[in-house]
Amino acid sequence: MSLLRRRERPGMLPSSAAGSGDDPPAAVRHVLDIDDLSVAELVDVLNRAKAGHRMNALEDRGVALYFQKPSARTRHSTELAVVHLSGHPVAITDHEVGIDTRESAEDLARTLACYHAIIGARVFDHRILERMAAASPVPVVNLLSDRAHPLQALADLLTIRDEFGSFEGRTVAYVGDANNVASSLALGVGRTGMAFRIASPDGYGFDEDHLARLRTAGAEVQSFDDPREAVRGADAVYTDVWVSMGQEDEAAQRRQDFARFTVTPVLMDAAAPHAVFLHCLPARRGEEVAEEVIDGPRSRVWPQAANRFGAAKGLFWWLTGPAPGEAPRTR
């Protein structure tokens, strides 16, 4: 489970947050998955994501962006989001840091908090994020882990709302591995009142413990072993790669197991006539999605990728202020 510490004024940093090496104050807020945000907070983040003007919520402050795992969309979107908030992004890699070889996750978090208002981290093991959050006196944001991908889920929600105007009555069908992307998506879909379905091969779905966790957080999940049944009448059809980073040794077996789970034009035709296609990228055309789908008229993958910027901006702004009801400072 991700860590959440509430502060008296949601969206605002405590004045003593940065520059302290002591234990984190009880007010510090971390976002390690979508359910670290209440429904109202989630909507607030999404609304802030669409603000077109430049803000100075991070003026004269830095944001540390630690990449243990490589990135394209995450690094570009988060760096530019910080700039749009008038802050200074500093990206670092594990080669520079060496968590648990050169220094501990806890010491890294305490050090970065001496200079930065927010720490973002993209890691292989979610437990690293939990350790950083437990030690950090400033907010820690999950930029991706093996367990969750909240910034991607925020971008997905923005894309669905842009397309349909609201979430009411919508159904999202996910076809593929019940991975970190699917989990955070299920949470976001459920907490905004939409229906979530997932179709996975045997052995690749959510286990009962994880389904219970999703239900507790407000996500009702319908599971299928037939992708056509999962997408029937859905408003959005979503997929991800069959082989993620770190799973290369499983590639041959996964391609065999997922062979009938490709999102093809025929499968899209089982969805609602107005249904759109979503993918978190990178994509492998001819595996999880047919070229005619991802490059076709129903695809929204590029607006979805563009919304990664808004997702990061909205969340970073929410974490640093102003508080809800206060007018944003513009420049």
Q: Which of 110, 149, 161, 279 is catalytic?
A: 149
Strands (E), 160-292: 171-175, 195-199, 221-224, 236-239, 276-279
Catalytic residue check, 122? yes
Q: Which of 48, 84, 116, 122 is catalytic?
A: 122
For 252, phi then psi, to 5°, come to -60, -45
Q: Which of 44, 48, 110, 152 is catalytic?
A: 152
Catalytic residue check, 308? yes
Report the relative pairing of strands 140-144 and 88-93 from DSSP bridges. unpaired
Q: Which of 30, 84, 280, 304 is catalytic?
A: 280
Q: Structure tokens of 117?
A: 């208002």
Catalytic residue check, 114? no
Q: Which of 147, 240, 279, 298 is catalytic?
A: 240
Catalytic residue check, 125? no
Q: What is the dihedral of CA 261, 159, 275, 200, to 10 degrees?
A: 20
For residue 157, give the 3-state DSSP assignment: helix
Query: What's the burial of 183, exposed, middle or buried (CB within 10 Å: 0-12/13-18/19+)?
Result: buried
Catalytic residue check, 88? no
Report the alpha-carbon distance of residue 134 to residue 262 in Å, rounded. 40
Q: Structure tokens of 121?
A: 């981290």
Query: What's the burial of 245, exposed, middle or buried (CB within 10 Å: 0-12/13-18/19+)?
Result: exposed
Enumerate the H helices of 85-116 as residue ranges.
94-97, 105-113
Catalytic residues: 122, 149, 152, 240, 280, 308
